[in-house]
Structure 1
Amino acid sequence: MIRLVRRWSALRPAPIPLEPLQGRALVAVAIAISTANFMQTLDLTIANVAVPTIAGDLGVSPDMGTWMLTSFATPLAITLPLTGWLAQRFGQVRLFCVSVALFIAMSMLCGLAPTFGSLIVFRALQGAASGPLTALSQALLVAVFPSSRRNVALAVWQTTTFIAPVLGPIAGGWITDNIAWPWIFYINAPTGAAVLVILMRTLSGRDNPTRKLPVDTVGLVLLALAFGSLQLMLDRGQNLDWFASTSIQVLAALCVVSLVALVLWELTELHPIVDLKLFGQLNFSAGTIAVTVGFGVYYAALVLVPLWLQTQQGYTATWAGIATAPLGIAGIVIAPLIGRIQHRVDPRWFASLALLGWGAASLWRMSFDTDVPLADIAANSLLMGAATAFFITPLVSLSLAGLPRERLPAASGLQNALRRIGTSVATSLAPTYFERRARVHSTYLVERLSPLDRAFVDWYERLRHAGLSADAALASMSKSVDVQAHMLALDDFSQGCAVLFAATLAAVWLARYRRAS
């Protein structure tokens, strides 16, 4: 990517400074940038449901097929914090356009991949191109919107960020079932081409000032080792029983050592690849901690509830998607409204409202039982989605306020990288916690079942009178115990979510708010 951007930069004259836009040009650029962010965010989840089909078509096991997800997420986690350095070296607009072009090309090659190995390579390059798209979409929207309307820009960005992960599995499943899996990659081509055309026509010749910066090779290697080993550990941990596996222990040790070395090196490097000095800003630190923890816990619930519905409640993938779809619908409606009024209200109050809403939804979920109706699940999802609309935009606005414009890409890239890591950690640990708590509850429930217990005997006799054999009756009872154990495990998970949301609320109020900013 660096060579492509350098070659493009050499062919173009010195850019005009990037200034806020007005009228149709502003609308067109906002739509293009938001679409690019939506496109790459969608690719994080759209391929998940297609893994078994892709693995079968390319002749590998489903377990090997998950490497397609890892190969995308790992380069993405590495290039996100690199965005600040790349933007200073080559320019925000140029880097964004090259990333879009590279993303389109790699998407087409993923669809055309003849072997699983080639798919992994193209998917990794697609993930690398996604990093700058995530961070720069946020920074460019802030740059092109007038200061009085920047909250609207961040609300637009938030809407695309939240909706895409919800729609991804639904769109991926439909395309795989009704067309063919390569089209989950091909659909990026026309969308990306339209984005490029709009940006080249409206932002041609405009960009931020650039400067030649030396490459922090040591920092780059340490960054790749730290984030790469962490992502591999999270992706493979559940299949390998976490720290019972030697390979997971090695990855964890490599991650810790590399991360400590990265922090020590970057704090003393004159031109660091990751600007860790941003954490010297109280608002940035508090906002980033809140975004990382709060959004990670929210995302864990987003993953675990559909999993519970499908594995324990008998829902199909389609009906599980319908039950949780209000998560996205609420965000579409509310987020733009928040952007319009946010400048009048202390953003900490909005973020607090989001965390209280998430906490209330978690406590409500604790009252569910195995007969919970679909309407209650959908209403709970609606509350989660409505609360989500109040979260990211205020915190991003608060954490970036007061930073010079040239530091926005670095701040946005670092914050988004940590947010991605938070979601990866949460979504990897949540299913493991869920299953282990279910085993604990199952043990306690089984201990209470005894031939001396009248309720147990009555239950067994009812099943026998219903026509089940002795073995079938016991199997049915075992299944019921397992379902109840998972229900109790979901209660434990929801309680933990409520506690973590409360802790995040405390972090939000560590930030300082000045209306003038």
Structure 2
Amino acid sequence: MSTSTRTLPFPAARVAARAAAADDPYRNRYLIALTVTLASVLELLDTSIVNVAVPHMMGTLGATLDQIAWVSTGYVVANVIVLPITGWLSARFGRRRYFAASIALFTVASFFCGNAHTLQALVFWRIVQGVGGGALLSTSQSILYEVFPREEFGTAMAIFGMGVMVGPTLGPTLGGYITDALSWPWIFYINVPLGMIALAMTLGFIRDSRFAQKVERVDWLGLGLLIAGIGCLQTMLERGERLDWFDSKEVLLYAVVSAVSLVWFVWHELTTEHPIVDLRILKNRQFTAGITFAAMLGCCLYATVFVLPVYLQTLLGFTAEQTGFVILPGALASAFTMAAMARTTGKIDGRILVVCGVAIFGASMWMHGHFTTESGQGDFFWPLILRGVGLGLIFVPMTNLALAELPMEKIPNGTGLYNLTRQLGGSIGIAVTATLVSRFRGQNYAALSEHVSRYGEATRERLAMITQAMIAKGTPAPVAETKAIALIQGQVMRQAAMLSYEHLFLMFGIGMGLTLPLLLLMRRGRASGGGGMAH
């Protein structure tokens, strides 16, 4: 009897334990983190992976460079339009259903992108792919903030951040390898099995938000203004350099439509009862400072990812594969740094970590500013390691600081706006960088040419030496002199381009440093979302 009395409570205890586990909102959090990070990496890879396959696509589809550019532009434009409304869409359709549908749409579109036989079909499916991919980034972030307890928010953002920082860096390298080893359609086909895995894990582990607010009605006017404003802005940034900016009527039209639409959109969203994007959260000083910082972070991240491979491949003659191996250590440094950040949440003031990250990033850009046309692979290792560590120190604490004072039901809207500003910052950074490289090169060439006159003693000696060397190899004298002049001009142009890249790297470091005063508008706050709105 006594034995029976002792053993009776155990089955009941097991049942109670199972019930408690079933109700635990934090169970499976690491599997969920793996799921949403996989989805985010897929989305980010496809932002940059197609760039290296452009020549192959042009040959297969018979398209010009201007036409094939819409393969990238269509994807990014669709992406940025969806980003700010992901919170609204999650509330409208249910987070689990919306996230799963977005992965399914992205995966199906990836297959049809690879199977496209015309430019029109490829651009169409890339736009569809961008619509599906737009949800993956910000919805992933809001999911992580809900499925991890407050004390582990740093861990959640570290896991997510590793994918966000490594994805754009590895895109061109992976794209080049796949294109060379197989063919360009496989840069899309590779998404299919990975997307199916992410979809299965989503259906198995992700649940609807406990904090979702029911959507009463659809703000069609706000949606239309957002599509027109953000779509035209992103298209202008993508095509501006190619069309010579405001000398083009097309770019001017994009600018006017974007400006009018966005001003109208902001006014409408602040005055309507059921906005599609709740801009009232911008009243939170900490969040507004955070997304402003995010814009500069995106600018420096994407612009350096854009300009460094151009420098390595055009001036130093590196292949895409060699470029990938040069960049890889910095990407891994970012990942390891963010993994280490998981242990600092709540222990170290996030603002201090951001200051340290900006200082390290600035030191890295100073080292980048001393690259030359003779730099080798060993010269890039430590500058890129420092860049990776600096960005890693910034990403996790800045994300947590920006969202720290938003109530949990506002987190999906906040992550959408945060990721939108980072994406737009990146687009602005790439557009400005592409323009400045060309202009700086022209200015530097003019300045250097003043000191490389054919009538200068040093130039005459150099010209004579090259000419004699060519004649000695059998080149006729008149031809040898012409070739020698062209060679010197080419060297001057290379040095002018090198100086342009050096100036840009220094500008990135200074630009990031100029954002530090924004930290004065922030409080240390809590680890992240779930607090009340700041007043």
Q: Compute the TM-score of the two structures, normalised by the length of structure 2.
A: 0.90
Q: After superposition, give the CA deviation of every residue in 1:269-325 in whole Å (9 maximum; x if it has no partner).
A: 111111111111111011111111123123212211211121122222222222222
CA contact (8 A) 1:18 1:208 kept: no
Residue identity over aligned pairs, in percent, reads: 33
* 1:303 alignment partner in structure 2: 306
- Cα deviation, residue 381, structure 1: 1.2
Unaligned stretches of 5+ residues in structure 2: 1-21, 472-479, 529-535
Cα distance change on mapping 1:446 and 1:401 into 2, 3 Å: same
Alignment of 1:257-276 (within 5 A): 257-276=260-279
1:418 counterpart residue number = 421
Deviation at 1:101, TM superposition (A): 1.2
Distance verdict in 2 for CA 1:19–1:71, change over 3 Å? farther
- Aligned positions of 1:448-459 closer than 5 A: 448-459=451-462
Q: By how many angstroms is 1:241 displaced? A: 1.1
The match for 1:12 is: none
By how many angstroms is 1:508 displaced?
2.6
1:312 pairs with 2:315: yes
Match 2:76 to one of 60, 73, 77: 73
Aligned partner (choices 341, 347, 350) of residue 347 of structure 1:
350
Deviations 1:186-236 (A, max 9, x none): 111211211222222223577554513211111111111111111111121
The question of 1:21 aligning with 2:26 is answered yes
Give the Cα separation in 1 of the matches to 2:222 and 2:200.
Answer: 35
Match of 1:11 in 2: none
Decide whether aligned partners of structure 1 residues 132 and 408 sit closer, same or farther in structure 2, where only a CA change above 3 A counts.
Answer: same
1:306–1:203 Cα change, 3 Å: closer
What is the letter of the counterpart of residue 283 of structure 2?
Answer: G
Paired residues for 1:84-123 under 5 Å: 84-123=87-126
Q: Distance in 2 between matches of 1:363 and 1:452?
A: 36
Partner in structure 2 of residue 497 of structure 1: 508
The superposition leaves residues 43-75 of structure 1 with CA deviations (integer Å, 9 ceiling, x where unpaired) of: 111111112212221222233111100110011
Which segment drifts farther, 204-213 or 343-352?
A: 204-213
Q: Is the 8 A contact 1:346 1:515 kept in 2?
A: no
| Structure 2 letter corresponding to 1:426 | G
Unaligned runs of 5+ in 1: 1-16
Partner SS for 2:490? helix
Match of 1:138 among 138, 141, 145: 141
Deviation string, structure 1 residues 436-473 (Cα, Å, up to 9, x no partner): 11100101111222244221111111111211600110
Residue 270 of structure 1 aligns to a residue whose secondary structure is coil
CA distance in 2, matches of 1:420, 1:407: 20
- 1:188 is matched by which residue type in structure 2? N
Answer yes or no: is 1:331 the counterpart of 2:342. no
Q: Is the 8 A contact 2:442 2:496 kept in 1?
A: yes
Q: Answer whether contact 1:135 1:413 (CA < 8 A) is retained.
A: yes
Conserved? CA contact 1:18–1:207, under 8 Å = no
Matched residue of 2:439: which SS?
A: helix
Query: Residues of 2 paired with 1:516 and 1:47: CA distance?
Result: 37
Q: Which moved more, 1:408-417 or 1:292-301?
A: 292-301
Q: Does 1:483 align with 2:494?
A: yes
Q: Could you tell which deviates more after superposition, 311-320 or 68-77?
A: 311-320
Structure 1 residue aligned with 2:259: 256
- Whether the 8 Å contact between 2:297 and 2:422 is mirrored in structure 1 is no
What TM-score does the superposition give when structure 1 sets the normalisation length? 0.93
Aligned-partner Cα distance in 2 for 1:401–1:312: 44
Larger radius of gyration: 2
1:57 alignment counterpart: 60
Which of 443, 450, 464 pairs up with 2:446? 443
Task: Write the deviation string for residues 399-447 of structure 1: whole angstroms up to 9, x where unpaired.
Answer: 1112121111100001101111110111111021011111001011112
Q: Is the 8 A contact 2:168 2:305 kept in 1?
A: no
- State which drifts further: 469-478 or 311-320: 311-320
How far did 1:28 drift?
1.6
Alignment of 1:12-411 (within 5 A): 20-22=25-27, 25-203=28-206, 208-411=211-414
Q: Distance in 2 between matches of 1:211 and 1:294?
A: 33
Q: 8 Å contact 1:354–1:388 — kept in the other structure?
A: yes
Aligned partners of 1:79 and 1:131 also within 8 Å:
yes
Q: Residues of 1 paired with 2:414 and 2:526: CA distance? A: 21
Distance 1:206 1:249 in 2: 42
1:257, distance to aligned residue in structure 2 (A)? 1.3
- Give the aligned residue type for 1:109: F
Change (3 A) 1:313 1:362: same
What amino acid is the match of 1:266?
A: E
Tell me: CA distance 1:433–1:204, structure 2 relative to 1, closer, same or farther (3 Å). closer
Q: In 2, Cα distance between the equivalents of 1:124 and 1:403?
A: 32
- Matches of 2:208 and 2:373 in 1, distance apart? 60
The whole-number CA distance in structure 1 between the counterparts of 2:30 and 2:297 is 31
CA distance in 2, matches of 1:280, 1:18: 35
1:366–1:180 distance in 2 versus 1, CA, 3 Å: closer
The answer as to whether partners of 1:88 and 1:406 remain within 8 angstroms in 2 is: no
Residues 51 and 212 of structure 1: CA distance in aligned 2, closer, same or farther (over 3 Å): same
CA RMSD of aligned residues (A): 1.8
Size of the alignment, in residue pairs?
Answer: 499
Equivalents in 2 of 1:402, 1:18: separation in Å?
26
